[in-house]
Amino acid sequence: MTMDAFFSLHRLLERKETQSVTVITYGMCAYSTSKAGVIGLAKSAGKEYAETNITINALAPAVIRTAMVEGMEPAQVKYMTDKIPMKRCGQLEEIAATIAFIVSKEASFNTGFCFDLTGGRAVY
């Protein structure tokens, strides 16, 4: 756990806030290793802080239609989306709606979970 993450959790405890979301973005070998680490961190920290009324979850999106993706060559975007079973990029609104759910009272029993937003492409 990084010092920033450690201090963030203590700030949550002090302020009695109850939800945390980790967002994971797209990339390969080092990326996959770090992604697995973030998912493991969310699972471990979710269990560790479960009795404090703080929920800790991760969000793992595939290619999301952002300004960065808009600036890519269309062939590169097609290459990436062709690997997604839904054959499209995710939308920022879909990410926002999922995060809104994760931090809602309705999701207060979810902790230590990785929410998948890959259009069916999850490879972890």
**Distance (Å, rounded) from C-alpha 114 to C-alpha 35?**
11
Burial class (CB in 10 A: 0-12, 13-18, 19+), 109: exposed
Active-site pick, 26, 31, 49, 124: 31
Question: Is 31 assigned a catalytic role?
Answer: yes
**Distance (Å, rounded) from C-alpha 84 to C-alpha 101?**
23
Which region, left, alpha or beta, applies to residue 29 given φ > 0 means left and ψ of -120 to 50 means alpha? alpha
DSSP state of 31: H
Active-site amino acid positions? 31
